[in-house]
Structure 1
Amino acid sequence: MKKIIGALLILVFSNLFGEYKYPFKNPYMATILGSSTLMTDGVSEAVPTKVYKVKLPNSKEPPENLWYNGKFEFSLVHQKEKAPLIFLLAGTGSDYHATRMVLFQRIFYDAGFHVISITSPMHSNFIVNASTNKMPGMIIEDGKDIYKVMKETYNIVKDDIEVSDFYVVGYSLGGTSSAVVSYLDEKEKAFNFKRVFMVNPAVDIYSSAVKLDKELNRYTDNDPKKIGVLIDNVISKVSSTLKGGYTEITEETIYKLFENDVLSNEDMSQLIGLAFRLISIDLNYVTDLLNNMGVYVTEPVGKFTNMFPYFEKIDFADFEDYMNRLAYPYYKKKFGGNITLDQLLTTTTLKQIEDYLKTTDKIVAVTNRDELILNENDFKFLENTFKDRLIIYPYGGHCGNMFYIENVDVMLKFLKEGVFKYEN
């Protein structure tokens, strides 16, 4: 039945908008091959970019072994003349200069925008320097932190650029956060955002995280030994590919390493799940350390402390572990025990601002019918909430088609003209 419904939806899309020619019909292949690939001709190879490393107000010195996160990092891509400014929000666990962020920066620069790029609230640099609770995942609280960062970063660069209007664009978790900061700005009006573009947003970040964890667990049974073998394969590939130097093993690193391999759906599913699991492992460790929770880190950690025992103790912890072992105990204590886990999980969803999202015409969203992080209830929420401010493309997986020329054209037409429609 689901296949029939999917086929009908694709047929309706084709009839309404014309044939959609995105090349990857497999959602796993689209996610791995497309999500970091520019499929738009004529985009500048390099754009004027300035990187900032700053001490934010009220930020504290990080623990010794997180010394490299001593300052908050962000970037500015700037026009020479007066122009609109886009705040670009990174996907889950990604930083301001991830490959996907850089591709967006190049596209937006050529389209005539300034761009301030902001790291994900689930990245260690953001958690250490900009997170109020040091325990991300509650989207309104995270949104407040991002909004503060927006104000601070703009204040730092405002004397160097002339801005006509303010916009927000985010993908994945950044797409979710885009809606939240727009909601917050309606009251404070520090920017009075003109338009907001959400790319492949999560509706409920907890349920989306569980779906991604299942991509790994489906084939490994969440067995640490099997996951360990998979990670060893990735590390081995990194070692054989790099010619000296250091690289951070991220989602994009993993996808890049295996993009030329012949992979089965099982292989691709595991890689996508593993990429997210590495984010969860880091999240478990960093939040435990910063909040002195004692779940994994039970002894003082120095700059040169052997970290293997701590990572071994984390034992490939996933996002559910994070919520159950760290976030819930933290917030339960903060609220004096007057909160259940189910109540906490309601803070991870866009449904908190449903009324606002239904009534504002400045926010639009795009996603894909084969999106890996959404379930049927999520699609219903998006359709009922955004109505004609939502485009669901038939293919693309998770963020796999966001740099495809037809998607880019839709995005830029909305940002520049306020017109939101797909034309083939």
Structure 2
Amino acid sequence: MKKKTNFKLHFPSHLSFLLLISFFIGFCSCEQKQHSISSHGGLTEQEVLYIKQRQLLYYRDEFGDRGEKVTVDPSLVFENPRLRNAYIALQAWKQAILSDPSNYTGDWVGSEVCNYTGVFCAPAPDNKKIRTVAGIDLNHGDIAGYLPEELGLLTDLALFHINTNRFCGTVPHKFINLKILFELDLSNNRFAGKFPEVILRLPKLKFLDLRFNEFEGTVPKELFDKDLDAIFINHNRFRFNIPDNFGNSPVSVIVLANNNFHGCVPSSLGNMTGLEEIILMHNGLRSCLPEEIGLLKNLTVFDVSFNELLGPLPDSIGGMVSLEQLNVAHNRLSGNIPASICQLPNLQNFTFAYNYFTGEPPVCLGLQDFDDRRNCLPDRPLQRNAVQCKSFLSKPVDCGSFRLIGVSYASPPPPPFY
């Protein structure tokens, strides 16, 4: 049974508006979703092809954003022109939907668009006397279809959440008109093609979630210059080297896991002083970990597992006082585990299995949750055999051979943590 929501909130002043959006971030969970194409069910390859062909026809129609594909009944009465535009956009979208098993769009009929399921209205930010569509939330609808260009008519849209559906195709170019879009969640769908560069032209965007799709190719380096708070692009098919300007990003959370990134972990990472969580697992990163990561005093989660990282763990990690989860498993790291890491006050989980570490301080054994299997640690169970250890450790690692761009400091750098 679908849920109807009566959205009565108002667009307030700029600061209050940000607080309102923060409420939505809390309300609309951004926990990692489980991705399963088979769970979508019911969409044949022929239907997928049909949807893609339909969307391509829209691209050939230069007037696609004006709603010529939607006939507006002259008997319909709208509160204001913006809600009329919203009607055109939503009716075009309804026509682009091939499957709606829970009938979310069943009540998308008539001029009262603010009563449509999943559509939320509020006073316009530039005119409190009129209502306009402020948000769309069709999460977990299992809806199949594509996004028509007419959605660009929703110029007052702040939230667009359609995670866990079966939408495919690409992101419409006319999204460029969504100048106050704050949150964009397209996760757990079937979108494909290159990174949707229209995202780079959304000036108010703070929350970006593209995870669990079929996007491919490179990620524009300009993404890391945008004033975003959260970036989730994990579980796609992106393939590129992490750029030197990666550390310019002001995000608090960034997840790039399960793509095909290569290159170094840039030392500019140390510039990201507001960073709280970073997950780079299961890519192709090949370098040493830079000392500059010790500058991330607010970081709680650091996961670089399942890469090809080399060399020792930097002593500076012992200064990451907020760290709770540290996962460097399944790499080629070696040397001694610094005792200062295991003495971090908030550390709950330290996983460094499947590496080539040769020394482990006794204090690590007292951690609540840690995993040291398949290393080269004397007198510890479940380690690599002597032949494996000797073969790997006989080849010294030169961390200076990796191209790492330095961190910029507002003041002289602090001394290393020992």
Give TM-score, length-normalised by structure 2.
0.22
More helix by share: 1
Based on CA coordinates, which of the two structures has the bigger radius of gyration?
2
**Does 1 or 2 have the higher relative contact order (CA < 8 Å, sep 6+)?**
1
The two structures have a TM-score, normalised by structure 1, of 0.22
